[in-house]
Amino acid sequence: MRSTATLMSLLFPDTCVLCDAPGDALCLRCLRLLEPPPPIREPPGTHTVDALCSYKGAGADLVLSLKRRNRREAVPMIASALCVALDARRAEGSRSPRITWLPTTPKRRRTRGFDQAELLAKAMSKFSGWPAVKLLDRRSGPQMGLGRQDRVDGPVFTARHSCEGELILVDDVLTTGATIAAAAEILLAAGATTLRAAVVAVAP
Ligand SMILES: [Zn+2]
């Protein structure tokens, strides 16, 4: 005889990444707990920033469920919401943008086995049809845990290809904006004309 838990998992293949309730990857109750993002100051080099929520409470848990617990089920939902927000801002008839992401450090990628920003960018590409391209390499150590000066200076990025045209730059969390600004500088120098940032959450 199958256990109740097994039957539930057959009926509801997904469970909420925040409360484990069977059903959607993010249940309605938890979705309602997400707070809207605080007012955003666009990091230098970016035209707009779209965000799903504030990096606080359920919003922080949502990001950490992906980063720390590899709970990817909510990624398509997050990606589609960001694409809808981005699409609403685009001029009618404009050429398709390309999606790229802020790569995590090689060390973190090795430890986690994936890059959460890359997962989001690829899910956004699947939803929108806009191509996702890896345009950046990241050289320095992670931002978390570093001193204030390192945070202000930001990590060092290099561009892999020509970065012409309109780009969407994806990351999980916007904190000081220093990381996005550092990447924007490189992408603009490599030919990007318009840069729109898309993040899951913004630190209050
Ligand atoms: Zn839930």
Angle between helices 58-67 and 116-128 (to 10 degrees): 100
Residues 174 and 131 in one domain: yes
CA distances from residue 10 to 4, 29, 47, 165, 196 in whole angstroms, order as listed:
10, 22, 45, 45, 40
Q: Is 137 helix (H, G, I), strand (E, B) or coil?
A: strand
Closest CA to 80 of 204, 203, 202, 200: 200
CATH number at residue 118: 3.40.50
d(Cα 155, Cα 118) in Å, to the nearest integer?
17
Residues 94 and 135 in one domain: yes
Site of tokens 């994936």: 114
d(Cα 97, Cα 88) in Å, to the nearest integer?
13
Residues 54 and 102 in one domain: yes
Distance 44 CA to ligand 1 centre (A): 36
pLDDT value for 144: 46
Residues 123 and 198 in one domain: yes
| Structure confidence by residue, pLDDT tens digits, 9-38 | 666 668 999 999 998 999 999 999 999 999
Residues 90 and 175 in one domain: yes
Domain holding 2, by residue range, is: 1-33
Residues 65 and 12 in one domain: no
Count of structural domains, the chain: 2
Residues 28 and 38 in one domain: no
Distance 75 CA to ligand 1 centre (A): 14
Residues 176 and 190 in one domain: yes
Distance 14 CA to ligand 1 centre (A): 11
The counts of H helices and E strands in the chain are: 8, 6
| Structure confidence by residue, pLDDT tens digits, 132-187 | 999 999 986 545 444 554 455 545 899 988 899 999 999 999 999 999 999 999 99
**Confidence bin at 100 (pLDDT 50/70/90):** very high
**Confidence bin at 97 (pLDDT 50/70/90):** very high
| Structure confidence by residue, pLDDT tens digits, 112-127 | 999 999 999 999 999 9
Instruction: Please state the rounded mean pLDDT for residues 88-112.
Output: 90
Residues 114 and 198 in one domain: yes
Residues 169 and 145 in one domain: yes
The encoded tokens of residue 65 equal 């469920």
Distance 197 CA to ligand 1 centre (A): 27
pLDDT value for 200: 97
Residues 62 and 108 in one domain: yes
| Structure confidence by residue, pLDDT tens digits, 35-91 | 999 999 999 999 999 999 999 999 999 999 999 999 999 999 999 999 999 998 888
Q: Which residues contact 93 (CB under 8 A, 6 or more apart)?
A: none
Map 163-191 to HEC letters: CCEEEEEEEEEECCCHHHHHHHHHHHHCC
**Confidence bin at 107 (pLDDT 50/70/90):** confident
Residues 157 and 114 in one domain: yes
Asked if residues 101 and 123 have their Cβ atoms less than 8 Å apart, the reply is: no
Distance 33 CA to ligand 1 centre (A): 9
For the cut 80, the answer to whether the pLDDT of residue 2 exceeds it is no
Please enumerate, as own/partner, the contacts of 179-183 that have beta carbons within 8 Å and a separation of 24 or more. Answer: 179/102, 179/143, 179/154, 179/155, 180/43, 180/45, 180/46, 180/102, 181/43, 181/44, 181/45, 181/46, 181/154, 182/154, 182/155, 182/156, 182/157, 183/102, 183/136, 183/157
Distance 158 CA to ligand 1 centre (A): 39
**Confidence bin at 92 (pLDDT 50/70/90):** confident
Pick 192 or 161 by higher pLDDT: 192
Distance 39 CA to ligand 1 centre (A): 26
d(Cα 79, Cα 91) in Å, to the nearest integer?
20
Distance 143 CA to ligand 1 centre (A): 30
Distance 63 CA to ligand 1 centre (A): 14
Distance 25 CA to ligand 1 centre (A): 8
